[in-house]
């Protein structure tokens, strides 16, 4: 007797084929009943509620992996963004510095062009110089320029920019020269009012933004806005170069002199390139004044003769 047949008496129930046919028919019947009468909706809902936690639990590893990946991706993106932001900030600062340098170069270029095209009085020549040092003492208005005895600089030469008088050379070194600004305290420049030709002397006040006209009568014809130019009568400053502009006039009948404040026309503490004018031709020597006592004696003798 075959061994497979010897154990058949332990197998109970229908055969697999019968079971397949039965369950297939049952499935079709249930599907028909569910589609026709909707009897399994409540059962499906209950099963869905029971299965949902299991579904979420089984999906949790994939969700955690996605979250961890997103965290790493976000952190990397933040690092890349910060790095890009830092690079852009550095580039912006470099571009801003280059822009400032370019603007400064353009201003210097424009000033140099203006200086080179200035019309000078006949007989005057000029040398272009550069300010290399400024006086550290805030009470001294002096600068050092880039040319000295090697370029035949001399004491007394006038220094100007494209707008007016800046100062005068007061000391000469081998390769540098010291320029005292017109705003130096008590520094005097002979001027005249361009509007009416009134002559006077403007004095420095120790402040780069202020000059003063002193010893002008209270009734002097000077108005706010008047332009003061060099008079040229002293033989040091060429005639007609702008010096200052009247900014304020105070008249008090109780004082014999008016208080007149002026603003320097030139950028005495602004520009880097300046012009040094050659010395003007020497004027004839001033005649010596006779003593007052001699004049009195002559007058007395004349009276006696009479």
| DSSP symbols for 83-145 | HHHHHHHHHHHHHHHHHHHHHHHHHHHHHHHHHHTPPPPTT--EEEEEEEEE-SSTT--EEEE
pLDDT on residue 81: 87
How many whole angstroms separate alpha carbon 305 and alpha carbon 117?
A: 66
Q: Are strands 177-181 and 165-172 parallel, antiparallel or unpaired?
A: antiparallel
* Positive or negative torsion for Cα 215, 218, 221, 223: positive
Q: Which two tokens stand for residue 240?
A: 């007609």
CB 224 within 8 A of CB 246: yes
> What pLDDT, on a 0 to 100 scale, did the predictor assign at position 201?
92
β-sheet bridge partners, residue 117: none
Give tens-digit pLDDT for 241-259. Answer: 899 999 999 988 888 899 9
Q: Do 263 and 244 meet the contact criterion of CB atoms below 8 Å apart?
A: yes
Pairing of strands 199-204, 211-217: antiparallel
Phi, psi of 90, rounded to the nearest 5 degrees: -60, -45
pLDDT of the residue at 1: 46
- Using only the alpha carbons of the chain, give its radius of gyration: 51
Rounded to the nearest 5°, which phi and psi values hold at 259? -100, 115
Q: Are 188 and 203 in contact (CB under 8 A)?
A: yes
- pLDDT for position 224: 93
CA angle 47, 49, 55 (to 5 degrees): 95
201 φ/ψ angles, rounded to the nearest 5 degrees = -130, 130
pLDDT of residue 191: 94
Closest CA to 207 of 264, 272, 143, 266: 264
Q: What is the pLDDT of residue 92?
A: 84
Residue corresponding to tokens 């399994």: 40
DSSP state of 288: P
Domains of the chain and CATH, by start:
126-277 (2.40.10.340)
Identify the residue whose tokens are 């014809």: 221
pTM for this entry:
0.60
The residue ranges of the chain whose pLDDT is under 50 are: 1-4, 7, 296
- How confident is the model at residue 271, as a pLDDT? 79
């Amino acid at each position: 007797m075959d061994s497979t047949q010897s154990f058949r008496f332990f197998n109970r129930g229908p055969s697999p084929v019968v079971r397949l046919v039965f369950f297939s028919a049952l499935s079709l019947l249930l599907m028909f009943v569910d589609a026709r009468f909707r009897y399994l909706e409540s059962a499906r809902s209950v099963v869905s509620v029971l299965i949902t936690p299991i579904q979420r639990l089984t999906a949790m590893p994939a969700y955690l992996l996605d979250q961890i990946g997103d965290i790493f991706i976000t952190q990397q993106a933040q690092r890349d963004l910060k790095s890009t932001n830092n690079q852009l900030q550095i580039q912006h600062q470099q571009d801003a510095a280059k822009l400032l340098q370019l603007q400064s170069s353009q201003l210097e270029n424009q000033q140099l062009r203006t200086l080179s095209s200035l019309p000078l009085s006949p007989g005057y020549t000029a040398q272009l110089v550069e300010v290399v040092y400024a006086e550290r003492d805030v009470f001294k208005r002096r600068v050092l320029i880039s040319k000295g005895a090697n370029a035949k600089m001399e004491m007394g030469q006038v220094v100007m920019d494209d707008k007016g008088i800046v100062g005068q050379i007061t000391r000469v070194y081998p390769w540098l020269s010291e320029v005292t600004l017109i705003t130096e305290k008590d520094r005097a420049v002979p001027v005249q009012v361009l509007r009416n030709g009134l002559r006077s002397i403007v004095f420095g006040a120790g402040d780069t933004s202020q000059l003063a006209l002193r010893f002008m009568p209270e009734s002097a014809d000077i108005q706010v806005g008047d332009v003061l130019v060099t008079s040229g009568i002293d033989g040091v400053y060429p005639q007609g170069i702008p010096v200052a502009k009247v900014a304020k006039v105070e008249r008090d009948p109780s004082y014999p002199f008016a208080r007149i404040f002026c603003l320097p026309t030139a950028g005495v503490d602004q520009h880097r390139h300046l012009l040094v004018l050659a010395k003007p031709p020497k004027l004839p020597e001033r005649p010596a004044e006779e003593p007052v006592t001699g004049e009195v004696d002559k007058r007395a003798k004349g009276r006696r003769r009479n």
